[in-house]
Amino acid sequence: MWLAALKPGATERCGLRAEHVWGIMKMRDKRWGKWSGKAWVVLLCILLFAGCDNKKEEKVKGTAAPAEAPMESPEDDSANLGAWTRAMGSVLIELNEGNAYVFGGYEKNRDNKSGAAKILKSSWGIKSKKDLLKKIRELLRTGDRTAFREEAKDMNAMSKEKLKIAMKQLSGDMLVHYQMVQHNWKAWKKKGLLAWDMCRISHLAQWGYIADYLTLEEAQAVMEPAIRKCRENFASWDEVQNNWLDGYCLFATIDRKAANTDYTVRKNLYQELKNEQKEGQPLYDDQLFQQEVKPLPGYSFQKVMKEGLPAKKPAATPKAEAKPKTKAKTSPEETTKPKAKAERADSEY
């Protein structure tokens, strides 16, 4: 089968994010009676994740079908980054008819290299190794979970009565979106969408490997922070996959309770993969959560990032000016220095 294109959601393409709409929702009159108008912002289209919409799947033209890959994955057995990466990206790889037991999902050949590069370019705007690493770092630092937390915070700040009234004004995709915000917060709190973002890094790392933007060792090394986040916040693959699935519902505006959706396809596929694991060759090994993360000798996330994202050249130091004979008066801007912002906890990424 052709390699399917990974597509970002509609809001990422048009610049409209759901939190902007929620801000409009809150601009009501103080009486909380009638709304100031009936002209609501409507989502332009249903959000899609990873280009795997069963009803209308977009394909990349000109790429070869992946050959039957060997069941042995090429990663270094002395580390466990490969095992983590394959499990984190397994459902999407299998959904695109790849082999989740093999790092990258597809055989490395010229056609698949071209196909993976096209996917990364058209779906993520990634045209180079530098672009790929920047996107991975972005997902590590913020991802979709940051906007989710802001929306959940706004909703939690409202009284139950006002929130109930606000939700009654919604319908269709908008209603589903905020129902999924509520569900993710109730189920996961601040962990909501964490596995969703981290598993997307797995997809990027593996596609980057097939596209030859990353070597096999680099593709495993860039996964280390994402793997550590999953290990620290979850206790099993059921938790990781359910968090990813719930995040997908929010991203793609899918009601978890609806039947025959892309959510149910992914959920059922995970259960199928889990049930069909072979003894001695588990795809979802829960023991990984009890083991220490084992990096590749000689490779690290920081090293790959440093080599792939060269540091910016420091600005040229201006020449010192001659001191005036008389002391000049200082302006308020000169005497009042702004306080430095606190660094993010994940700034190391």
Tens-digit pLDDT profile for residues 105-128: 999 999 999 999 998 999 999 999
Question: 238 pLDDT exceeds 50?
Answer: yes
Q: Which residue has the higher pLDDT, 56 or 229?
A: 229
CA distance 313 to 325: 35
pTM for the model: 0.74
**Residue 19, CB half-sphere, CA atoms under 13 Å: how many?**
12
User: Which one has a higher pLDDT value, 244 or 17?
Assistant: 244
Residue 300: inside a domain: yes
What is the per-residue pLDDT for 268?
98
- 3 occurs within a structural domain: no
Task: Tell me, yes or no, whether 55 lies in a domain.
Answer: yes
Tell me the pLDDT tens digit for each residue of 137-149.
999 999 999 999 9
Q: What integer is the mean pLDDT of 230-242?
A: 98
The answer to whether position 134 is within a domain reads yes
Nearest to 90 by CA among 314, 256, 269: 269
DSSP string spanning 227-249? Answer: HHHHHHH-SSHHHHHHHHHHHHH
What does the alpha-carbon distance between residue 131 and residue 20 come to, in Å, rounded to a whole number? 27
DSSP letter (8 states) at residue 190 = G
234 in a domain, yes or no? yes
- SS3 per-residue string spanning 24-39: HHCCCCCCCCCCCCCC
**Domains identified in the chain, total number:** 1
Q: Is residue 340 part of a domain?
A: no
Give me the chain's average pLDDT, please: 78
> Residue 127 in contact with residue 159, Cβ under 8 Å?
no
Residue ranges making up the domain that contains 184: 10-29+36-308
Q: Which two tokens stand for residue 10?
A: 């509609």
Give the percent of the chain with pLDDT over 70: 68
233 lies in some domain: yes
Most confident of 6-10, 96-100, 313-317, 340-344: 96-100
Lowest-confidence region among 138-142, 172-176, 329-333: 329-333
Between CA 181 and CA 186 the distance in angstroms is 9
Report whether pLDDT(166) > 90. yes
Secondary element (H or E) of residue 180: helix 172-188
- What pLDDT sits at residue 73? 72
- Distance of alpha carbon 327 from alpha carbon 330, whole angstroms: 9
331 is a domain residue? no
**What is the rounded CA–CA span in Å between residue 291 and residue 299?**
20
